[in-house]
């Protein structure tokens, strides 16, 4: 299948990957034939791009049904998890965390990073879904970092719970569309402390998880919050979740700003090496995640355009593309370009 921006979708295109509501429910199921009513409604809801079926890209598989089911189950479980934390109900909380562990263990044993990170949701997708996506990213990054299963579970749970302290911040501050006052920003900066306080009441929560919640906004150069810790004072899990939190946050629309472009979001992480982010974590990030997802329609510096069909591990900006000449576009005739072998050609941007 191929990935196209919403303005390039036409009537009778067939949806290739299901679209979800902010609550994790299916809004439009894959396989449905799109019409202008659906397309315009998706545009109104803030959906920027969607996958569509295309027989020329049958080999580009981006769907993982089991992972989708686990994400939906985790989404439905999130509000109960928070309630159990507040009520200090260790037994019910364990059941909630078992759902998270099932998701993490699926990623460990079966996960494909290229099928895991680009679900299409409507505009208001930030709260619980951000925590789930941060957990998934952290799990993949933890695998690259060589963590064992127990470490990956604690890392993933810490990532899932990293923003739990925001439940203590007034909603009008969290959702404010204009610039925060100094007092409001100071309140926002307390959410790691609020989260740690909540978790410390549950004796079964490991200290490594609490540290992630407390330190996920710390920066290795000491310019983070709430404590201004430097590299040696920040735990390895916290350094890793910090990167995943920032990348997922800037890759999604917020009430006060639009999301970053794919390349800009990625460059933000790479450029932060040794200042905001730990150098080794950034290197592992580069070796784990690609800039442009499978099926993405991009423009090349040689004035051709094509679709990404494979990634080259460790070279996030040098994938393999399938390129159709304009006259042969509907004939299924194409050639492929591996940017790892064609170093004079670069991706200049996405086709919108």
Name, in order, each residue with C-beta under 8 angstroms of 75's C-beta and a sequence gap of 6 or more.
23, 24, 128, 129, 132
Confidence of residue 90 (pLDDT cuts 50, 70, 90): confident
Cis peptide leading into residue 293 (ω within 30°): no
**What phi and psi values does residue 121 have, to the nearest 5 degrees?**
-125, 165
pLDDT reading at 118 higher than 70: no
Separation of alpha carbons 66 and 63, rounded Å: 9
Give the pLDDT mean for 326-343: 78
What is the model's pLDDT at position 325?
A: 72
| CATH number of the domain encompassing residue 69 | 1.10.3210.10
Q: Do 131 and 114 share a structural domain?
A: yes
Q: Do 32 and 173 share a structural domain?
A: no
Greater confidence, 124 or 261? 261
* Least confident span in 111-125, 278-292, 322-336: 111-125
CB atoms near residue 165 (< 10 Å):
22
Q: Do 271 and 240 share a structural domain?
A: yes
Q: Do 223 and 90 share a structural domain?
A: yes
Q: Do 174 and 35 share a structural domain?
A: no
What is the model's pLDDT at position 19?
A: 82
Separation of alpha carbons 297 and 352, rounded Å: 8
Confidence of residue 326 (pLDDT cuts 50, 70, 90): low
* Least confident span in 71-75, 134-138, 167-171: 71-75
What is the model's pLDDT at position 14?
A: 95
Confidence of residue 84 (pLDDT cuts 50, 70, 90): confident
Mean pLDDT of the chain: 89
Q: In terms of Cα–Cα distance, which of 98, 107, 132, 108 is closest to 24?
A: 132
CB hemisphere CA count around 242 (13 angstroms)? 31
Name, in order, each residue with C-beta under 8 angstroms of 329's C-beta and a sequence gap of 6 or more.
none
pLDDT reading at 46 higher than 60: yes
What is the model's pLDDT at position 255?
A: 58
Separation of alpha carbons 118 and 247, rounded Å: 13
Q: Do 150 and 177 share a structural domain?
A: yes
Among the candidates 36, 57, 78, a domain finishes at: 57
Range of the domain at 26: 2-57
Q: In terms of Cα–Cα distance, which of 175, 169, 171, 114 is closest to 140?
A: 114
Separation of alpha carbons 290 and 312, rounded Å: 8
| CATH number of the domain encompassing residue 38 | 3.90.105.10
Among the candidates 35, 57, 79, a domain finishes at: 57
* Least confident span in 72-81, 217-226, 327-336: 327-336
CB atoms near residue 149 (< 10 Å):
12
Confidence of residue 252 (pLDDT cuts 50, 70, 90): confident
Give Dmax (Cα) for the chain: 66
Q: Do 220 and 84 share a structural domain?
A: yes
Pairing of strands 335-338, 2-5: unpaired
Q: Do 214 and 99 share a structural domain?
A: yes
Q: Do 311 and 274 share a structural domain?
A: no
Give the pLDDT mean for 266-284: 96
Among the candidates 262, 288, 314, a domain finishes at: 288
pLDDT in tens, 32-45: 999 999 999 988 88
Give the pLDDT mean for 97-109: 95
Give the pLDDT mean for 150-170: 95
Q: Do 301 and 284 share a structural domain?
A: no
| Percent of the residues in the chain that have a pLDDT greater than 90, as a whole number | 60
Name, in order, each residue with C-beta under 8 angstroms of 164's C-beta and a sequence gap of 6 or more.
82, 85, 194, 195, 198, 199, 213
Q: Do 216 and 116 share a structural domain?
A: yes
Give the pLDDT mean for 240-261: 83
Q: Do 331 and 223 share a structural domain?
A: no
**Count: domains in the chain:** 3
């Amino acid at each position: 299948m191929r990935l196209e921006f919403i303005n390039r979708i036409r009537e009778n295109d067939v949806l290739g990957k299901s679209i979800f509501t902010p609550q994790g429910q299916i809004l439009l199921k894959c396989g449905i034939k799109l019409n202008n009513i659906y397309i315009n409604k998706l545009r109104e809801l803030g959906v920027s791009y969607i996958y569509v079926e295309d027989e020329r890209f049958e080999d580009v598989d981006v769907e993982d049904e089991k992972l989708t089911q686990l994400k939906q189950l985790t989404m439905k479980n999130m509000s109960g998890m928070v309630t159990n934390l507040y009520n200090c109900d260790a037994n019910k909380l364990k059941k909630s965390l078992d759902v998270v562990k099932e998701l993490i263990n699926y990623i460990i044993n079966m996960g494909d990073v290229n099928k895991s990170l680009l679900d299409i949701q409507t505009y208001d997708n930030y709260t619980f879904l951000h925590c789930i996506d941060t957990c998934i990213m952290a799990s993949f990054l933890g695998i690259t970092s060589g963590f064992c299963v127990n470490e990956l579970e604690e890392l993933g749970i810490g990532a899932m719970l990293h923003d739990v302290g925001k439940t203590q911040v007034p909603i009008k501050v969290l959702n404010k569309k204009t610039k925060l006052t100094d007092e409001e920003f100071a309140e926002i900066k307390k959410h790691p402390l609020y989260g740690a306080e909540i978790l410390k009441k549950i004796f079964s929560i490991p200290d490594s998880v609490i540290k992630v919640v407390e330190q996920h906004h710390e920066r290795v150069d000491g310019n983070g919050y709430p404590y201004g810790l430097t590299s040696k004072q920040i735990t390895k899990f916290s350094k890793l979740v910090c990167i995943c939190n920032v990348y997922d946050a800037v890759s999604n629309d917020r009430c006060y700003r639009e999301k970053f472009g794919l390349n800009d979001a990625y460059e933000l992480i790479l450029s932060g090496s040794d200042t905001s982010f730990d150098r080794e974590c950034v290197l592992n990030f580069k070796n784990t995640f690609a800039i442009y997802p499978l099926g993405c329609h991009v423009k090349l510096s040689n004035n051709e355009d094509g679709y990404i069909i494979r990634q080259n591990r460790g070279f996030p900006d040098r994938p393999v593309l399938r390129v159709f000449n304009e006259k042969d576009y509907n004939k299924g005739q194409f050639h492929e370009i591996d940017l790892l072998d064609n170093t004079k050609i670069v991706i200049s941007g996405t086709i919108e």
